[in-house]
Each structure stands twice: as C-alpha cells, then as structure tokens.
C-alpha cells in the first residue's frame, strides 16, 4: 500500500510539472508574439496599432496601419482637434468638403481643402514639446495647380518625446492607389487613401534640420496590395 501511494504521488508530481512546463511555454510564446508583432506598438493618441489589412508587395518586416478619418466640414465637433486647427491656425481660410484626420505612431495631422479649390492646408502634431503648449506644433499651406500639388510642402518643426524631428509632407498618388507605405527605422507605416485628398505622410528618419530637408522612402499599392511604384521623395522646406 505504501509503495502504491508513493508511485501515485510521483506520477501526480510529474503530471503537475508537465502542466506547469506547458503553461510556461505558452506564456513565453505569447510574450514573444507580442514583442515581435505590430500590435505591441501604439499610435500617438494612445490607441492600439494594427498591421496593414493586406500583404503589401515588396514590403518586408512589420507594418503599422495609421488611422484615417474623413469628416465633413459641417460635421466637425467644435471641441475637436480639427476644429482647433481651423480656429487657431487658419482662421482666415474657409474649408470645403471633408477634413482628413490621420494618426500615426509618432505623428498626427489634419488636412483641409480651401473653399476656393486652389489650395490645401494642414496642421501637424507629435508628442514632443511645442511653443506655448499649442495644440498643433506645425502647419502648412499648399497651392493647387489644376487640382494637383507641385510641392509636397515639407514641415519639420514637430519633435518626438525623445528629441528627433518629425518630417511631414503631402503625396498625391494616382486614383488606383489605396495604400502608401513609408519606411521607418523598425517598421513600415501605411497610409490609406481617404477623402479624395493628398495624403499627409510623416517620417522620423531622413530628416536633416541643417539643410531643411527630409527623405521619404515610399511605395504605393492598390487595394489588393500589389505594388504600383516605389520611389524616394526628397523634400525641402519652402523658402
């Protein structure tokens, strides 16, 4: 009887050790998945980041989908960030159509089309310091020629919390482009077309304050993720 009890005790202990080992292995696997996955990142507004909804041809490594929201001008909340851009930064301009609010890992922007249809204007933001605790740390105006931009209107006044500058610029992809992918140091940030307006992209790499310039490594993709073109955009702050 005592031998049988010792045998069962030994077997029970082995079972418990096996269960513990499986649980530990599962936890370790889960932690590894979180550290390697795109969901481990968050956007600058604190919301969780997710990967692009489709596989983008030619894009290696992890992707992070920025959020894009088109808001009709007459539906903008007076207390919203978009309204503060109109009120505090561009009070002399009237907007038409929809404002497009974009939020990325280190950047936030809102783009408007001028009521005259002759220009675009935007406010930009990051998590870093800014003058007088303003809601937006930068802004830009771009003139349209036959409905298109000739200048990406680079701005580099915003900073991250760690110090590097953030470069903002517009790109105006073709009608069949659904996603614009921008290479970042550890991932690729993806911007979805919205509101029929040029896309305000951002980068935390390739910004050169001394030359007032920034280089963006881009690729454009259709709705299925097929690559339409790949290029580098070298932009300069307008004088």
Q: What is the reported pLDDT for 13?
A: 42
Pair 152, 203: CB distance under 8 Å: no
E-only strand ranges, 43-176: 63-65, 67-72, 95-103, 108-114, 119-125, 138-145, 148-149, 167-171
Q: What is the reported pLDDT for 233?
A: 97
Q: What is the pTM of this model?
A: 0.82
How far apart (Å, rounded) are the C-alpha atoms in residues 17 and 19? 5
Q: What is the reported pLDDT for 11?
A: 42
- Average pLDDT per 10 consecutive residues for the chain, totaling 239 residues: 36 40 33 39 94 97 97 97 96 97 97 97 94 90 95 96 94 96 96 97 95 97 98 93
Pair 229, 219: CB distance under 8 Å: yes
Element (H, E) at 75: none
Pair 203, 222: CB distance under 8 Å: no
Tokens representing 8 are 């069962």
Neighbouring CB atoms inside 10 A of 172's CB total 16
Q: What is the reported pLDDT for 40?
A: 59
Q: What is the reported pLDDT for 133?
A: 80
Q: What is the reported pLDDT for 226?
A: 98
Pair 58, 226: CB distance under 8 Å: no
């Amino acid at each position: 009887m005592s031998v049988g009890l010792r045998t069962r005790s030994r077997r029970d202990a082995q079972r418990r050790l096996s269960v513990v080992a499986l649980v530990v292995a599962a936890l370790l696997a889960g932690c590894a998945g979180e550290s390697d996955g795109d969901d481990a990142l968050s956007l600058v507004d604190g919301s969780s980041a997710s990967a692009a909804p489709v596989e983008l041809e030619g894009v290696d490594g992890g992707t992070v989908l920025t959020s894009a929201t088109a808001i009709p001008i007459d539906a903008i909340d007076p207390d919203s960030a978009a309204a503060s851009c109109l009120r505090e930064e561009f009070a002399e301009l009237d907007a038409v159509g929809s404002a497009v609010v974009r939020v990325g890992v280190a950047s936030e922007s809102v783009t408007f089309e001028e009521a005259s249809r002759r220009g675009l204007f935007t406010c930009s933001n990051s998590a870093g310091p800014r003058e007088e605790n303003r809601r937006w740390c930068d802004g830009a105006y771009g003139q349209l020629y036959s409905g298109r931009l000739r200048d990406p209107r680079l701005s580099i006044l915003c900073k991250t919390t760690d110090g590097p500058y953030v470069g903002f610029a517009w790109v105006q992809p073709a009608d069949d482009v659904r996603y614009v992918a921008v290479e970042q140091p550890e991932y690729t940030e993806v911007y979805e077309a919205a509101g029929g307006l040029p896309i305000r992209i951002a980068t935390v790499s390739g910004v050169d304050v001394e030359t007032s310039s920034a280089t963006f490594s881009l690729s454009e993709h259709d709705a299925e993720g097929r690559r339409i073109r790949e290029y580098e955009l070298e932009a300069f702050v307008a004088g």
